[in-house]
Structure 1
Amino acid sequence: MIVVMKTHTPAAEIESLIQEFRSWNLTPETIESNNKVVIGLVGDTASLNIEQVQQLSPFVEQVLRVKHPFKRASLEFRHGEYSEVAVPTPNGVVTFGQNHPLVIVAGPCSVENEDMIVEIAQVVKATGAQFLRGGAYKPRTSPYAFQGHGESALSLLAKAREVTGLGIITEVMDTADLEKVAEVADVVQIGARNMQNFSLLKKAGATGKPILLKRGLSATIEEWLMAAEYILASGNPNVILCERGIRSFDQKYTRNTLDLSVIPVLRKLTHLPIMIDPSHATGYSEYVPTMVKAAIAAGTDSLMIETHPNPKKALSDGPQSLTPAEFAELIAEITPLLQFFGRGHQSDLTTTFTAKVPSTALITA
C-alpha cells in the first residue's frame, strides 16, 4: 500500500503518520518526488481499509494498493518514478537509471593475471567504459573447468582500479566470500545461478553495496523481481537488474536467448535500472554488436560486454569475448546511436582508439 501526501505537507505531519503506521506493525518507507512525499507501507496491509488510512490526516491525497507481490520493486511503490543507482568510483559518481546516459561495463570473463587485467582495464577505459568487469570466483557447469583465482584475483582487480580509476563489478558466489568481495567491488554481482540463493541475496543486500542481479537461466520475470525484493527488503535500494539470456530450445546456434522484451515489460512493472549482457546471451562475439544496438534501441540503461586481449587463449568464455579492436569499433558505431536516443555516454568516448591504448592491447589473434 502507498500513501500519497499532498504537496508541501509539513514534516511533522509526515512523521506523525509514520509513527502511527509503525504502531500498526507496518514498515513505512518514504519517497520524495516533485515536492510530494509518498509513504510506502510494507507488511500485512490486506485488512487495512483505504478510507481509514485516508482519514488519518487532511494532508493525505491518495491511498493506493500495490497489486504486485514484489512490493518495494514495484513501479507503483514509487508512484511511477524510476529510481537511480549512483555508484562512487575513483573517476567520479556514475549513475544507472532511465534518465541518465548509458553506462558501459566491459572486461574479461575471468581475471587471469595482473598484466592481462590491467591491460584490458586500460583498453576499456580509453574506449569509454566506466566499469571493469572481471570474475574472481567463477560458477562453472563442470567441476573440472577453470573456477577463477579467487581471493588473489580480487587483489588484481583492486590493482586495475588503482591504475585506471574504473569502478569494479565482480561476482560473489558464497556468503563466506561476501566481505572480501565487497571490499573490492563497487558493485557486487549476483549471478544467474545464484538468483534465488535467498541467504546470499539477504546478506549481500545488508552490505549496502549496489547489487547487480542477473536473471536466472530459466527464471520468469516475476521470480526475478521477487529475488530483487529480497535485496530491497534488507534495506538496500541500490539494485540493478541484468538480463543475460534465458535457456530456450535452440542451444546449437546461440548460447541462450536474449530476451529484449524484458526492457518494456520491466519499465511497466519496476522502477529499477536495467542492464543487458549480450555476451552471455549469444555466446558468440560475432552476434554481440547487433544485440548491443538492439538493446540500445529498446531502451537499456546499461550494457555489459565481454572483452579480452586474446579471446582464443581465454581461460573462460573466449568465443563470446570481443578483442580490444572489436570493442573499440563497436563503441565508435554506437556513439551516434546513443546520441540519437538521448543516451549519450557519461564520459567522452575516444575518437582515436590507437592514440590512447598501447599497441600491445590490439592483439586479435
Structure 2
Amino acid sequence: MLPPGLPGRWRPAIPHLFQNILKALMQQIPTGSLVLRETRPSGTVVVLPGRVEVGGRDFVVMAGPCAVESAAQIEDAAEAVAAAGCPILRGGAFKPRTSPYSFQGLGEQGVRLLLAAARRRGLLVITEVLDPSELPALEGVALLQIGARNMQNFALLKALARLDRPLLLKRGPAATVEEWLLAAEYLLAGGNGQVVLCERGIRTFESSTRNTLDLSAVVLAKQRTHLPVIVDPSHAAGRRDLVIGLSLAAAAAGADGLLVEVHPRPGEALCDGSQALMPADLRELMRRLSPVVHAVGRELWRAPQQLMVAK
C-alpha cells in the first residue's frame, strides 16, 4: 500500500519504479545465450582422457586433498582415491587463501608431485588455476578448476575460454544461479564449450556449517543449462561428518558427480582438515552412493585397472 501522504502526481509512478528496481536486481540471461539448455537440449558431455565422461550416464567422483603438502601425503592420498575406484585425483598446488599467512600451496612443485602420483595409479588430475601465467606448469592436468573466488574474474575467464581444455567453474559463495551461468557464458562465448559447473555452497545466516549447500541450485541449473553440474559437499559442510549425507543428497537431486576432499591424515592437514574424509570414509561413500545413483537411472563410474592416462 502506498503512503497516504504521497503527492497524487507521484502515486502512478511508484509501481513502475519498483518494477524497474526489481528488474535491476534480477540479472536476466539473454535469450539465445550459449549456456541455455535450448541451445543444446540433449545436454553437454565433457569427455576427459581415458574416456571419463562428465555429464553422461555415469556419475563421476573426483577426490583428493585440499592441497598438495608433500610427496608422501599426495602419494598416500592418490592410493586411497585409486583404491576407492575414483577416476580423478584432486589437489591444490596454487592456493588462494583468505589470510595471507595461511599455507599458499607448493606451486609448480606441487603440480609435479600431483601429476606423478596420479600417473603411477592411472588417475586423471583436477587442480585450480589462478592466473594464465600458471598454464605452462599445468600441462597434463585433465580438468582445470576456476575457483569460487575467481568465478567473476573476467580476465581469467576470457583467457581460459581460448583454451581447448576442459574447465570446471565453481559457483561463488555469494553468486546467484544467473550470475554463475553468465560466468559460464564468458567461457562458451570465448570458444570453450568443455565446461563443468560446480555447486560448493553459498554464504547464508546459518553458522552451523561452513556454507549452505544449495541443492535447489543444482536442480535449477540442470533445467536452465545443458552443462554438467557437480557438487562439492566438503566446502559446503566444512565438517567431515556431513559430507557423505550431502553427497547422497546431491546424487539424488540429479548432480552429475562430486568433488570431495580426502586426506590420509586429516589431523595433520595444512588446510581444511576438518572437512576431509579419511580413506575408509571414501570407500564407504562409494559403497553408499551406488544404490542412490542406480535409483536415478545412472551408473557410478569406477576406474578400471586398465585406465590409460595420456602422458
| Short-chain TM bin | 0.7 to 0.9
The whole-number CA distance in structure 2 between the counterparts of 1:67 and 1:204 is 21
Structure 1: runs of 5 or more not aligned: 1-65, 351-365
* Structure 1 contact 157–184 (Cα < 8 Å) conserved: no
Output aligned runs, 1:135-214, within 5 Å. 135-181=92-138, 183-214=139-170
Structure 1 residue matching 2:58: 3-state secondary structure: coil
* Structure 2 contact 61–301 (Cα < 8 Å) conserved: no
* Structure 1 contact 215–244 (Cα < 8 Å) conserved: yes
The whole-number CA distance in structure 2 between the counterparts of 1:280 and 1:70 is 33
* Structure 1 contact 70–225 (Cα < 8 Å) conserved: no
Structure 1 residue matching 2:215: 3-state secondary structure: coil
Structure 2 residue matching 1:275: 3-state secondary structure: strand
- 1:257 paired with 2:212, answer yes
* Structure 2 contact 233–247 (Cα < 8 Å) conserved: yes
- 1:94 paired with 2:72, answer no
TM-score (ref. length: structure 1):
0.74
How big is the shift at 1:68?
A: 3.1
Q: Which residue of 2 aligns with 1:310?
A: 265
What whole-Å deviation, never above 9, does each CA across 1:25-65 have from its counterpart, x for those lacking one? xxxxxxxxxxxxxxxxxxxxxxxxxxxxxxxxxxxxxxxxx
Letter in 1 for 2:272: D
Q: Which residue of 2 aligns with 1:339?
A: 294
How big is the shift at 1:348?
A: 6.2
What whole-Å deviation, never above 9, does each CA across 1:287-330 have from its counterpart, x for those lacking one? 00110110011011010110000111100000000110111112
Q: Which residue of 2 aligns with 1:327?
A: 282
Letter in 1 for 2:42: E
Structure 2 residue matching 1:140: 3-state secondary structure: coil
- 1:77 paired with 2:39, answer yes
How big is the shift at 1:245?
A: 0.4
The whole-number CA distance in structure 2 between the counterparts of 1:226 and 1:271 is 13
The whole-number CA distance in structure 1 between the counterparts of 2:304 and 2:58 is 12
* Structure 1 contact 311–319 (Cα < 8 Å) conserved: yes
The whole-number CA distance in structure 2 between the counterparts of 1:265 and 1:349 is 33
Q: Which residue of 1 aligns with 2:177?
A: 221
Q: Which residue of 1 aligns with 2:7?
A: none
Q: Which residue of 2 aligns with 1:109?
A: 66
Number of residue pairs the alignment of both structures matches = 278
Letter in 2 for 1:172: V
Q: Which residue of 2 aligns with 1:288?
A: 243
The whole-number CA distance in structure 1 between the counterparts of 2:125 and 2:147 is 15
Output aligned runs, 1:227-238, within 5 Å. 227-238=183-194
Q: Which residue of 1 aligns with 2:199?
A: 243
Q: Which residue of 1 aligns with 2:13?
A: none
Higher strand fraction (1 or 2): 1
How big is the shift at 1:148?
A: 0.4
Structure 1: 4+ residue segments shifted above 6 A = none
How big is the shift at 1:135?
A: 0.1
Q: CA RMSD in A?
A: 1.7
Structure with greater contact order relative to length (CA < 8 Å, sep ≥ 6):
2
Letter in 2 for 1:213: L
What whole-Å deviation, never above 9, does each CA across 1:233-292 have from its counterpart, x for those lacking one? 1211100000000111123x1000100001221122100000100000010000001101
What whole-Å deviation, never above 9, does each CA across 1:61-108 have from its counterpart, x for those lacking one? xxxxx9736711011122x221110011xxx210011x4110000000
Structure 2 residue matching 1:217: 3-state secondary structure: coil
The whole-number CA distance in structure 1 between the counterparts of 2:304 and 2:119 is 21
Q: Which residue of 1 aligns with 2:85?
A: 128
Structure 1 residue matching 2:53: 3-state secondary structure: strand
How big is the shift at 1:161?
A: 2.1
How big is the shift at 1:179?
A: 2.8
Q: Which residue of 2 aligns with 1:119?
A: 76
TM-score (ref. length: structure 2):
0.86
Letter in 2 for 1:244: R
How big is the shift at 1:203?
A: 1.0
Q: Which residue of 1 aligns with 2:226?
A: 271
How big is the shift at 1:205?
A: 1.9
